[in-house]
Structure 1
Amino acid sequence: MKTIKVSVVTPDGPVYDAEVEMVSTKAKSGELGIMAGHIPMVAPLQIGSVRLKNEGRTDLIAVNGGFLEVRPDVVTILAQTAERAETIDLARAQAAKARAEQRLQDSTDAVDAKRAELALKRAVNRINIAERNF
């Protein structure tokens, strides 16, 4: 099967760089599946997982927003933050989830509630990917 080069980059540096058969992720417009030869496009990403399939195995990366750029031979993901499944600190993610839930309960300000809601989504995403429950 043909492959496509994928690079996942954050402001802190590269997170992933490899040839894969397929990329699957959630854009704001919906679920995307990208293979070699895909039409060029740019799409904003949601908080979610990037699934990279190659030779029967799937690598998972947790991304917290950003953009996906597709060219026929290269996919570049520019993410605000990104973590490979195997590098996620599950205890830290669970603690972040508990803090966000507590902030949501205690919040009286709409801005604080929105920030806590986003923090909760990020934590749940990291937990799901670390546990492979996406």
Structure 2
Amino acid sequence: MSTIKVSIVSSSEEIYSGEGTMVFATGSLGEIGIAPGHTPLLTGLAPGPVRVQNGDDEKTFFCSGGFIEIQPDLVTFLSDRAERAESMDEAEAIKAQELAEKNMHDKESDLDYTKAAAQLAEAAARIKTIQKLRKNK
């Protein structure tokens, strides 16, 4: 079975380095599936889950956004924040989502609306990642 090398890097450290038979993520234009031998591509990475399959084994990660660089034998995810999905706290993600929603609706707040919308999108993506991980187990 053919594999592709996968590297997931946050701004502070490499989160994952390994092999995969198939990789799934959300690019800036929608869902993308990456197989060994994929055509070279550079695209944006939307906040959400990144799944790395290697045969029957599947690992799930969360990336806050960034870029995906794809080469025929290597895919690299560059993200400001990335973490293993199993280390994420659902209650904390829900709390962050509620706070972002509150900030967006607070007309008297000095918080930038664009920043609040980005925080809300990231919190929703975190919850989606946790739910996908739970569903795949």
- With normalisation by structure 2, the TM-score equals 0.88
Distance between the aligned counterparts of 2:25 and 2:54, measured in 1? 15
Corresponding residue number in structure 1 for 2:55: 55
Alignment of 1:5-24 (within 5 A): 5-24=5-24
Q: CA deviation at 1:111?
A: 6.7
Given that 2:48 and 2:128 are in contact with CA atoms closer than 8 Å, whether structure 1 keeps it comes out as: no
- With normalisation by structure 1, the TM-score equals 0.90
Identity of aligned residues (%): 37
Q: Which structure 1 segments of 5+ residues have no match? A: none
Given that 1:22 and 1:54 are in contact with CA atoms closer than 8 Å, whether structure 2 keeps it comes out as: yes
Distance between the aligned counterparts of 1:118 and 1:28, measured in 2? 14
Matched residue SS, 1:132: helix
Q: How many residues align?
A: 134
Q: CA RMSD in A?
A: 2.0
Matched residue SS, 1:58: strand
Corresponding residue number in structure 1 for 2:121: 121
Corresponding residue number in structure 2 for 1:90: 90
Given that 1:107 and 1:113 are in contact with CA atoms closer than 8 Å, whether structure 2 keeps it comes out as: no
AA in 2 matched with 1:81: R
Q: Which structure 2 segments of 5+ residues have no match? A: none
Ranges of 4+ aligned residues in structure 1 off by more than 6 Å: none
Distance between the aligned counterparts of 2:73 and 2:129, measured in 1? 27
Decide which structure has greater strand share. 1
Q: CA deviation at 1:3?
A: 0.7
Distance between the aligned counterparts of 1:107 and 1:118, measured in 2? 17
Distance between the aligned counterparts of 2:34 and 2:25, measured in 1? 9
Matched residue SS, 1:24: strand
CA displacement, residues 50-88 of structure 1 (integer Å, 9 cap, x when unaligned): 111112232211111111111111111111111211011
AA in 1 matched with 2:56: G
